[in-house]
Amino acid sequence: MKLKTALLGAVAAVSLPVSASAADLTLRFGHVGAPGSLFEASVNAFAQCANDKLGDAAEVQTFGASQLGNDREMLQKLKLGQVHLSLPSSVMSSIAPEFGIFEMPYIIRDRDHMKRVQAELGDTFQEAALSQGYRIIGYFENGFRHITNNVRPINTPEDLAGVKLRTPNGAWRVKMFQEYGANPTPMSFSEVFTALQTKVIDGQENPYAQIASAKFQEVQSYLSITGHVYTPAYVTVAENQWKKWPEDVRAALEACGTETQDTVYEIAANLETELLGVIKDAGVAVNEADKVAFVTASSPIYDAFAAEVEGASAMIDTVQSLADGS
């Protein structure tokens, strides 16, 4: 099955072009997702929602595939008013330490668990973002991450020994894969395909939606289903810019941040099944990793996070207590 076919049903309803209008305010929403990615579908769904509500008050325009910069660059541009909304994910753990909770392996069980965590700890994350000059107006997702590489199937952490693995620019992801025995190499997402193709790196770790839309299956031999981390994505604005926007614009954007989440989660769940098929059809060898072995090897990451980040131990306990929905 070709990627275009697999994504057609999921994306068609939310990938309509934003029509030109005489809007009073033009808001540029940048993200790193490739065409056909979950990020693209998510941002298009948000823009459709926002533009329906905003009328002539404002217009949200979308820019994917790192057109407006990588995640770090877009976060900087938010404060300068050059970008108005962005969708950072793993990089947030380097912006404020509280977001490192989502870098703890296997701490988020599923999307319902994530919703409970968001409800319980949302104020904590908002305060952390505001302390660095940002405001979160919605929670989307990057998804459950898995490992691809060209060296060998990864069944246990020991199989990662010496594997040069691209990670996002987040300190805890680097520490995690160092603990597992890999050679983690932080790199912007837009650079990964070429680095894999030229063998600068051996592999990478991402959700199926990012793997397939970026065509990593064309330059990778093995996919190991680890599900080691679930990464939220955050609809983010700069607080200094947010305060300048009219109240009705802010209300519409916040409403769409909430309303679009269920659409994003539905698309993401569907893509997990469809895109695994796309990757297999490309000839990539797929194996189920020994998750128990990975969980066992992850204890030092939790210990380090609890020791280094104020309040982290309590956060871990809270997130784990919400796993069963009680």
For 298-321, write each residue's pLDDT tens digit.
Answer: 999 999 999 999 999 999 999 999
Structural domains in the chain, CATH included, are 3-143+231-278 (3.40.190.170), 146-228+281-321 (3.40.190.170)
Task: Determine the 3-state secondary structure of 36 from DSSP.
Answer: coil
Residue 253 and residue 26: Cα distance in Å, rounded? 13
Sheet of 203-206, strands arranged across: 183-186, 164-167, 203-206, 146-149, 222-225, 285-288
Which pLDDT band holds residue 170 (cuts at 50, 70, 90)? confident
- In this predicted structure, the answer to whether residue 275 has a pLDDT above a threshold of 90 is yes
As a whole number, mean pLDDT of residues 84-100 equals 96
Share of the chain above pLDDT 70, in %: 93
- In this predicted structure, the answer to whether residue 325 has a pLDDT above a threshold of 90 is no
pLDDT for position 317? 98
- For strand 59-63 and strand 146-149, is the pairing parallel, antiparallel, or unpaired? unpaired
Q: State pTM to two decimals.
A: 0.90
pLDDT for position 18? 42
Question: Which two structure tokens, joined as six digits, stand for 244?
Answer: 């300048």
As a whole number, mean pLDDT of residues 209-232 equals 97
Task: Determine the 3-state secondary structure of 88 from DSSP.
Answer: coil
The shares of helix, strand and coil residues in the chain, as percent rounded to the nearest 5, are 50, 15, 30
Question: HSE on the CB side for 204, CA within 13 Å?
Answer: 31
Residue 108 and residue 292: Cα distance in Å, rounded? 15
- In this predicted structure, the answer to whether residue 11 has a pLDDT above a threshold of 90 is no
Instruction: Judge whether 289 and 98 are in contact, CB under 8 Å.
Output: no
Residue 193 and residue 270: Cα distance in Å, rounded? 24
- In this predicted structure, the answer to whether residue 148 has a pLDDT above a threshold of 70 is yes
- In this predicted structure, the answer to whether residue 271 has a pLDDT above a threshold of 80 is yes
- In this predicted structure, the answer to whether residue 165 has a pLDDT above a threshold of 80 is yes
For 277-303, write each residue's pLDDT tens digit.
Answer: 999 999 999 999 999 999 999 999 999
Within 10 angstroms of residue 196's Cβ, the number of other Cβ atoms is 23
Question: Which two structure tokens, joined as six digits, stand for 28?
Answer: 């540029």
pLDDT for position 130? 98
Which pLDDT band holds residue 14 (cuts at 50, 70, 90)? very low
Alpha-helix residue ranges (DSSP H) falling in 92-191: 92-95, 111-131, 171-180
- In this predicted structure, the answer to whether residue 17 has a pLDDT above a threshold of 60 is no
Q: What's the chain's average pLDDT?
A: 93
As a whole number, mean pLDDT of residues 171-200 equals 96
Alpha-helix residue ranges (DSSP H) falling in 69-134: 71-80, 92-95, 111-131
As a whole number, mean pLDDT of residues 85-111 equals 96
Largest CA distance in the chain: 58
| Nearest by Cα to 166 from 202, 198, 190 | 202
Give me the phi and psi of 2, to 5 degrees please: -80, 155
Question: HSE on the CB side for 253, CA within 13 Å?
Answer: 27
- In this predicted structure, the answer to whether residue 5 has a pLDDT above a threshold of 70 is no
pLDDT for position 169? 83
Question: HSE on the CB side for 203, CA within 13 Å?
Answer: 28
pLDDT for position 91? 94
Which pLDDT band holds residue 326 (cuts at 50, 70, 90)? low
- For strand 134-144 and strand 230-238, is the pairing parallel, antiparallel, or unpaired? antiparallel
CA dihedral 234, 240, 242, 245 (to 10 degrees): -160
Which pLDDT band holds residue 22 (cuts at 50, 70, 90)? low
